[in-house]
Amino acid sequence: MKLIKSLFIVFSFFFLNIESFAQKIEIGGGLGAMNYKGDISPDFHPSFAQLGGHLLFRYNLKKDVTFRLSTTFGSIYGNDKEVSDSFNQQRGQTFKTSIKEVSLVTEYNFFSYQYSRMHKDWSPYVFGGIGFMGFSPRDTPVSDYKQAGVIIPFGVGIKYNLTGPWDLNLEFGTRKTFTDYLDNLGGDNPALSRNIQNDYSRGDMYYYTSLALTYKFIKIYCPK
């Protein structure tokens, strides 16, 4: 009899913790625009935006702290001819590169963010972390460079509770990379004369602006 009681207590504790853990889980996905900054686009050019998408898994540790694992995919594009700088106009290069990434970030909500039956919550937030990306240029690579590497994702966003467990997330994120070949133009390119080589002292960056729909596994108590 004591053994049965002990097992009952253990299993009750186990399942209660599973339920508590599940209510901190959030999943979702979204679409957005990828952009790039580098040699072919020294400044941010909205006209170079390409379609991207992502899936996410979020663990809401506290009302203001969240851990997020996500995978993102899309492409970036640039064209010297569409840039006003005379150097870019003379060079006349263009590129398109597909990107896949996995990242783990920590989010900090400025307001305590949680679901409530009495009101719709919202909060601005910031995030930062680490990730890994792989990329593939449309054209033949100019050299035998690595097409994968570590990235540092960071950015800002806004969370808004639509209804019940459903939320909308609007986010702008930057990816700091450690490569100058996203635009297939890093280092010495034998196809270009020396006077129109790129500035390979600067690394490329890319951006992802997105709108996501997420679902939280929460228990909603309905009055009888």
| Residue 119 in tokens | 């009101």
Evaluate whether residue 42 is within a structural domain. Answer: yes
| Predicted confidence (pLDDT) per residue in 198-215, tens digit | 555 567 999 999 999 999
pLDDT tens across 2-43, in order? Answer: 544 554 454 444 444 444 445 689 999 999 999 999 888 888
39 phi, psi to nearest 5 deg: -65, -40
Count of CB atoms within 10 A of residue 131's CB? 21
Task: Specify the DSSP class assigned to residue 222.
Answer: P
Q: Considering the domain boundaries, does residue 7 fall inside one? A: no
Q: Which domain holds residue 71?
A: 23-216
| pLDDT of 86 | 82
Task: Please provide residue 185's backbone torsions phi and psi, each rounded to the nearest 5 degrees.
Answer: -135, 20
Contact between residue 59 and residue 66 where contact means Cβ atoms under 8 Å apart = yes
Q: What total number of domains does the chain contain?
A: 1
> What is d(CA 51, CA 195) in angstroms, rounded to the nearest whole number?
33
Which tens digit of pLDDT belongs to each residue from 11-20? 444 444 444 4
Q: What is the pTM of this model?
A: 0.83
**102-129 confidence digits (pLDDT tens):** 999 999 999 877 655 545 588 999 999 9
Distance between CA atoms of residues 38 and 181, nearest Å:
9
CB atoms within 10 A of CB 127: 19
Which CATH number characterizes residue 127's domain?
Answer: 2.40.160.20
